[in-house]
């Protein structure tokens, strides 16, 4: 009871005390290089396979499907297997036109994810301590939430890739690990049929 | 000490004893809604005070910076909050995102009740398609954002959704301060509650000077500061009215002093007259405290003004003393007595009405006139020692034919009758107060940044206990939800957002119990790989008994927003309010259940003003009738008719001029007409009852009384505050017309 209340309160207060961590010049340089390396465009489509290991569950939860990114809308996440589910995580450009989500945690986890798949790491530096590394054509960024309260839910996010984002690993404080592998992530035109279909509200399940 | 002076002191002593005996702190009311005769307003003063503080005392401060300046904005917000906290004009300042400690306590208190508390969305899903809950939760668990799901205690996140459904998502929080974004600007919000506006303080400690000082500070620190809220307008309007009254008052006092010195060649008559008025006002206050117990400030202001009529008694007495030879006080006493009786009966007749404002004005003015009259009659004979002299103008007064008097007399009556056909009324509050541009600009800017500010209109819910209030509020919610669907309002907030009534909690408990017993919950666990035994264990552990939530315990840990919405219980009744957001249409036609009242303060004030105005207008003929019957015994029917016609003609003539000037009549016009009538009655009685040898002294007294009234109140017509200007204009026109009629009457005496 106490732990779950602390967990939730951590979410509630997750941004209460911002500590400003400045990136070293080397880290800043590495971050710029990574952002230049990553092939990002305003609209992208790809597939994913996700493995989530929850300590309470007897077996990992494995899923796969299609993800789509639109600079103006956000992130579409369609699970094709083992269940059918489709959700759109929208960008809130300003609070007046944002739609309040049913789940407050959803927005706090989904927002950084949108920025990660967009390759927009600089923006993440406001809420995360970034630790970028480059080795040959591969790179890795470890994101640690700046706020302790946020770290009580998400301990770290690791992103690896080359010219594309390949893998995202979320380590939760509850020991749950979520590994998302992204494949065939490519840019598309704004009027691409599949992209439009992915962001169609009617297709949400 | 003469016998008369001793009687006066006895009278004063008796008044003081009775006033002390009946005195209580709340004798002066300031809320205009207390003048309403309807039973819909709050019966408890304490509750009303809380509502006023919640709704009328709140101020919002918005610190705006450029988008890239977030850290600096957060720092400046802290500094600003400290500055606001140290100001005596503000009672509280809130600017941090949430009080995390309170949230934690609330969470811990409500978590055991998780099987009976559902968010509106979840409630709808459990009712219609419970299997969708399973799909949603599996989607989260298989999706990227399923962090923090508590599979053991809250596997379907229903409690998490319930608890967070009313917490707004803030895009960014820096150092505990929510940073809001709008286009290329970022801003922070500071919510304050202002202390009641103290009109006696000097300008340096006012809200307006604080606002001015902090705006300059914000500019120096690279931000801009916007402020909005009712207390700023209250203070501005009061300060403006006060400064005008001070300026106009000073001007009129100087001119009245000069006039008195020129005419009486002594300051003593002026001091004595002022003392008589002062005694009148004090008697009026005492009378109200003794008879009614309390008075509204509006009645107090009108009453004090009308008590100024008492100067007529003083001037008539003093002018009579100017007559050559021995003092002839007895000559003036019958007229003074008749003037007093007619005015008193007219004003006391107002107490027969069921309306608080009229009752209070009636008692105040009646008692005030008696007090002033007694002062003149009892103190003046031994106090006023003035050198008699012949009046130089007496030989120059024109001798005119009666038609010179009758023509304007009838003319004003006819004009009035014509104008009455075109009379229009307007009680819109904006006519009484025009906000200054600097406050309007801030208001508009804040509205452009924050689309959903709570409306000043709200619903008031009452019931015999907490549960009845919650039940009624819940019923109101279904009506309000329909209004949200129709986009008439954008949202609403009440305590039932967090704590539904017991019957709804039971219904939610049944919904979840049924869900856990059903196939959907089992399939959820199956899809996650649980064995049959594990599923049985999980489902068994989820079924919790129903708990009764202690409302007062919850309230002690509830967040500020909910604590403000619950007004408490008083005199066997409990109250809450439901605030509405983004109101786009009129709601007064909404059919409400018993115990729910839609409160539109602005409209209520306008309606009360309109109601009181109509009453005063309708009562004018009654007052004329009373005066007629009083004077008829003393002077006979024809003279009595003649007396009543003079003020009637002046009142109708004034009304005609105001209407032809294009003004829509309001309460302040009518209150001034009442005063014009009072002035007219006195002038008519004295002009009709004065003997031939004293008529020039009577004319002088009337002229002096008229001129001082004109200078004292007529100058208010120059005010920039519409209500004061309306009052002054009517009084100025009315006094001039009455003076003209009285003068013409004197000029025609002995001719017709």
pLDDT at B719 over 90: no
User: For A77, which of B100, B143, B173 is closest by C-beta distance?
Assistant: B143
Looking at beta carbons, which residues of chain A come within 8 Å of B147? 105, 109, 153-154, 170, 172, 176, 178
B223 three-state secondary structure: coil
Per-residue model confidence (pLDDT) at position A202: 62
Task: Give phi and psi for B324, each to the nearest 5.
Answer: -65, 150
pLDDT at B428 over 50: yes
Note the pTM of the prediction, 2 decimals.
0.71
The residue ranking higher by pLDDT, A3 or B445, is: B445
- Cα B87 from Cα B201, distance rounded (Å): 14
H-type alpha helices, B265-351: 268-291, 297-307, 311-321, 329-348
Percent over 90 (pLDDT), chain A: 20
Is the Cβ of B255 closer than 8 Å to some Cβ of chain A?
no
Cβ distance of B147 and A170 shorter than 8 Å: yes
Per-residue model confidence (pLDDT) at position B529: 85
Give the closest-approach CA distance of B614 to chain A in angstroms. 45
Per-residue model confidence (pLDDT) at position A204: 60
pLDDT at B375 over 90: yes
Structural domain including A196 reads 2-203
The residue ranking higher by pLDDT, B144 or B508, is: B508
pLDDT digit string, tens, across residues A15-39: 333 444 456 777 777 888 888 878 7
Looking at beta carbons, which residues of chain B come within 8 Å of A1? 108, 111, 153
Give me the count of residues in chain B.
752
The residue ranking higher by pLDDT, B38 or B482, is: B482
Give me the count of residues in chain A.
205
Per-residue model confidence (pLDDT) at position B240: 78
Looking at beta carbons, which residues of chain B come within 8 Å of A107? 169
The residue ranking higher by pLDDT, B371 or B668, is: B371
Per-residue model confidence (pLDDT) at position B633: 85
Q: Tokens 């494949």: give the residue.
A: A183
Q: Residue A82 belongs to a domain with what CATH number? A: 2.50.20.10
Per-residue model confidence (pLDDT) at position B220: 94
Q: If we measure between CA atoms, which residue out of B381, B372, B271 comes closest to residue B321?
A: B381
pLDDT band of residue B9 (cuts 50, 70, 90) is very high
ipTM of the modeled complex: 0.83
Across the range A138-149, mean pLDDT stands at 83
Residues 56-85 of A with CB under 8 A from B: 56-59, 61, 63, 77, 79, 82-83, 85
- Residue A176: closest CA among chain B residues belongs to which residue? B147
How confident is the prediction for chain B on average, in pLDDT? 84
pLDDT digit string, tens, across residues B398-414: 778 888 999 999 999 99
The residue ranking higher by pLDDT, B308 or B437, is: B437
Give the closest-approach CA distance of A153 to chain B in angstroms. 6
Cβ distance of A105 and B145 shorter than 8 Å: yes
Percent over 90 (pLDDT), chain B: 29
The residue ranking higher by pLDDT, B602 or B209, is: B209
Q: If we measure between CA atoms, which residue out of B317, B304, B299, B306 comes closest to residue B373?
A: B317
Strands B28-29 and B295-296: parallel
Specify whether the CB–CB gap between B226 and B130 falls below 8 A: no
Domain count, chain A: 1
Give the closest-approach CA distance of B512 to chain A in angstroms. 18
Looking at beta carbons, which residues of chain B come within 8 Å of A98? 169, 171
Across the range B332-340, mean pLDDT stands at 87
pLDDT band of residue B43 (cuts 50, 70, 90) is low
Q: Which of A60, A95, A115 to mutate to test the interface with B (most CBs of B within 10 A)?
A: A95
Cβ distance of A12 and B167 shorter than 8 Å: yes
User: For B167, which of A104, A126, A168 is closest by C-beta distance?
Assistant: A104
User: For B169, which of A57, A59, A107 is closest by C-beta distance?
Assistant: A107
Mark B260-274 as b/e (b = at least 16 C-beta within 10 Å): beebbebeebbebbb
Per-residue model confidence (pLDDT) at position A7: 47
Task: Give chain A as a 3 state SS string.
Answer: CHHHHHHHHHHHCCCCCCCCCCCCHHHHHHHHHHHHHCCCCCEEEEEEEEEEECCCCCCCEEEEEEEEEECCCEEEEEEEECCCEEEEEECCCCCCCCCCCCCHHHHHHHHHHHHHHCCCHHHHCCCEEEEEEEECCEEEEEEEECCHHHHCCEEEEEEEECCCEEEEEEEECCCCEEEEEEEEEEECCCCCHHHHHHCCHHHCC
pLDDT at B248 over 80: no
Task: Give phi and psi for A76, each to the nearest 5.
Answer: -105, 130
- Cα B32 from Cα A202, distance rounded (Å): 54
Is the Cβ of A9 closer than 8 Å to some Cβ of chain B?
yes
Give the closest-approach CA distance of B131 to chain A in angstroms. 12
Pick the CATH number of B50-97+173-232 from 2.60.40, 3.30.450, 3.50.50, 3.30.70: 3.30.70
Cβ distance of B529 and A59 shorter than 8 Å: yes
pLDDT at B242 over 50: yes
**How far is residue B395 CA from its own chain's centroid?**
54
Is the Cβ of B108 closer than 8 Å to some Cβ of chain A?
yes
Per-residue model confidence (pLDDT) at position A94: 43
Q: For residue A61, what are the contacts with CB-CB under 8 A and spacing of at least 6?
A: A50, A51, A52, A53, A54, B141, B142, B528
pLDDT at B604 over 70: yes
Across the range B196-201, mean pLDDT stands at 58
Give the closest-approach CA distance of A199 to chain B in angstroms. 16
Specify whether the CB–CB gap between B427 and B610 falls below 8 A: yes
- Of the given ranges (A56-70, A119-133, B103-117, B513-527), which has the lowest mean pLDDT? A119-133
The residue ranking higher by pLDDT, B434 or B424, is: B424
Specify whether the CB–CB gap between B682 and B315 falls below 8 A: no
Cβ distance of A95 and B168 shorter than 8 Å: yes
Is the Cβ of B168 closer than 8 Å to some Cβ of chain A?
yes
Alpha-carbon distance values, B51 to B31, B209, B318, B576 (Å): 12, 26, 52, 9
Domains of chain B: which residue ranges?
3-30+235-384+397-430+604-748, 50-97+173-232, 98-172+503-548
Beta bridge partners of A133: A140
- Cα B67 from Cα A126, distance rounded (Å): 14
The number of C-beta contacts closer than 8 angstroms across A and B is 161
Per-residue model confidence (pLDDT) at position B27: 78
Residues 527-546 of B with CB under 8 A from A: 527-531
- Cα A73 from Cα A43, distance rounded (Å): 10
Looking at beta carbons, which residues of chain B come within 8 Å of A110? 144-145
Is the Cβ of A109 closer than 8 Å to some Cβ of chain B?
yes
- Of the given ranges (A149-163, A191-205, B644-658), which has the lowest mean pLDDT? A191-205
pLDDT at A3 over 70: no
Across the range B166-179, mean pLDDT stands at 68
Per-residue model confidence (pLDDT) at position A97: 43
pLDDT digit string, tens, across residues B69-113: 888 898 999 999 999 999 888 888 888 765 556 777 888 899 999
pLDDT band of residue A93 (cuts 50, 70, 90) is low
């Amino acid at each position: 009871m106490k732990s779950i209340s602390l967990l939730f309160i951590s979410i509630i207060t997750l941004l209460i005390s911002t500590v400003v961590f400045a990136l070293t010049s080397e880290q800043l340089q590495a971050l710029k290089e990574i952002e230049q390396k990553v092939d990002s465009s305003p609209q992208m489509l790809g597939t994913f396979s996700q493995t989530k290991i929850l300590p309470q569950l007897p077996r990992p939860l494995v899923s796969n499907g299609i993800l789509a990114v639109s600079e103006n809308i956000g992130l579409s996440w369609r699970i094709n297997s083992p269940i059918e589910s489709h959700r759109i995580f929208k960008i809130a450009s300003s609070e007046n036109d944002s739609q309040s989500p049913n789940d407050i945690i959803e927005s706090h986890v989904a927002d950084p994810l949108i920025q990660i798949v967009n390759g927009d790491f600089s923006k993440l530096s406001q809420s995360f301590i970034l630790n970028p590394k480059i080795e040959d054509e591969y790179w890795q960024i470890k994101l640690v939430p700046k706020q302790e309260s946020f770290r009580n839910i998400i301990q770290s996010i690791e992103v690896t890739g080359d010219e594309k984002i390949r893998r995202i690993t979320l380590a939760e404080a509850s020991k749950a690990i979520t590994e998302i592998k992204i494949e065939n992530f490519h840019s598309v035109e704004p009027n691409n049929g599949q992209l439009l279909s992915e962001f169609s509200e009617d297709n949400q399940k | 000490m003469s016998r008369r002076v001793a009687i006066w002191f006895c009278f004063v002593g008796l008044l003081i004893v009775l006033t002390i005996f009946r005195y209580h702190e709340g004798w002066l009311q300031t809320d205009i809604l207390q003048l309403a005769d309807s039973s819909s307003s709050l019966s408890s003063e304490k509750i009303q005070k809380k509502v006023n503080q919640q709704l009328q005392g709140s101020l919002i401060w918005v610190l705006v910076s450029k988008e890239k300046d977030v850290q600096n904005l957060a720092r400046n917000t802290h500094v600003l909050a400290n500055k606001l906290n140290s100001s005596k004009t503000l009672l509280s300042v809130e600017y941090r995102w949430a009080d995390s400690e309170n949230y934690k306590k609330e969470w811990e208190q409500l978590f055991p009740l998780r099987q009976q508390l559902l968010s509106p969305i979840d409630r709808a899903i459990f009712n219609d398609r419970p299997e969708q809950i399973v799909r949603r939760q599996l989607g989260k668990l298989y999706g990227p954002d399923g962090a923090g799901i508590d599979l053991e205690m809250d596997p379907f996140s229903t409690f998490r959704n319930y608890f967070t459904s009313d917490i707004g998502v803030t895009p960014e929080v820096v150092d505990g301060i929510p940073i809001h974004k709008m286009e290329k600007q970022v801003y922070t919000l500071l919510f304050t509650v202002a202390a009641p506006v103290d009109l006696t303080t000097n300008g340096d400690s006012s809200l307006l000077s604080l606002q001015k000082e902090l705006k300059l500070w914000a500019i120096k620190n690279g931000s801009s500061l916007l402020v909005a809220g009712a207390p700023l307008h209250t203070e501005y309007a009061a300060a403006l009215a006060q400064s005008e009254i001070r300026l106009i008052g000073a001007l009129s006092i100087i001119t009245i002093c000069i006039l008195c010195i020129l005419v009486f060649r002594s300051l003593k008559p002026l001091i004595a007259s002022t003392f008589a008025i002062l005694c009148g006002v004090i008697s009026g206050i005492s009378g109200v405290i003794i008879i009614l117990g309390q008075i509204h400030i509006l009645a107090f202001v009108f009453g004090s003004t009308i008590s100024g009529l008492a100067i007529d008694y003083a001037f008539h007495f003093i002018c009579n003393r100017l007559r050559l030879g021995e003092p002839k006080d007895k000559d003036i006493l019958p007229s003074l007595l008749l003037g007093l009786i007619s005015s008193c009966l007219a004003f006391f007749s107002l107490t027969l009405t069921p309306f608080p404002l009229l009752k209070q004005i009636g008692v105040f003015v009646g008692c005030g006139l008696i007090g002033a009259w007694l002062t003149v009659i009892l103190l003046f004979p031994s106090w006023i020692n003035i050198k008699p002299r012949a009046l130089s103008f007496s030989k120059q007064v024109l001798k005119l034919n009666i038609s010179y008097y009758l023509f304007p007399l009838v003319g004003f009556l006819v004009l009035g009758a014509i104008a009455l056909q075109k009379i229009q009324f307007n009680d819109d509050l904006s006519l009484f107060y025009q906000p200054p541009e600097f406050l309007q600009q801030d208001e508009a800017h804040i509205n452009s940044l924050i689309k959903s500010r709570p409306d000043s209109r709200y619903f008031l819910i009452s019931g015999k206990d907490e549960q009845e209030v919650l039940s009624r509020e819940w019923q109101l919610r279904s009506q309000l939800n329909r209004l949200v669907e129709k986009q008439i309002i954008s949202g609403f907030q009440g305590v039932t957002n967090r704590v539904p009534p017991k019957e709804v909690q039971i219904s939610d408990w049944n919904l979840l119990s049924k869900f856990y017993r059903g196939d959907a919950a089992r399939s959820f666990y199956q899809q996650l790989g649980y064995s049959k035994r594990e599923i049985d264990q999980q489902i068994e552990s989820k079924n919790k008994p129903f708990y009764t939530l202690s409302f007062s315990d919850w309230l002690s840990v509830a967040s500020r927003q909910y604590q403000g919405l619950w007004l408490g219980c008083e005199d066997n009744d409990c109250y809450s309010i439901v605030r509405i957001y983004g109101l786009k249409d009129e709601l007064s036609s909404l059919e409400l259940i018993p115990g729910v009242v839609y409160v539109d303060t602005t409209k209520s004030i306008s309606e009360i003003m309109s109601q009181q105005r109509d009453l005063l207008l309708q009562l004018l003929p009654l007052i004329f009738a009373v005066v007629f019957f009083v004077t008829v015994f003393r002077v006979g029917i024809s003279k009595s008719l003649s007396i009543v016609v003079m003020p009637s003609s002046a009142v109708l003539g004034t009304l005609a001029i105001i209407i032809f000037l294009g003004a829509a009549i309001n309460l302040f016009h009518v209150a001034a007409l009442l005063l014009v009538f009072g002035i007219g009655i006195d002038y008519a009685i004295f002009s009709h009852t004065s003997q031939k040898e004293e008529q020039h002294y009577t004319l002088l007294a009337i002229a002096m009384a008229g001129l001082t009234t004109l200078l004292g109140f007529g100058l208010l017509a120059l005010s920039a505050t519409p209500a004061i200007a309306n009052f002054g204009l009517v009084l100025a026109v009315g006094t001039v017309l009455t003076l003209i009629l009285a003068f013409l009457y004197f000029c025609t005496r002995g001719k017709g």
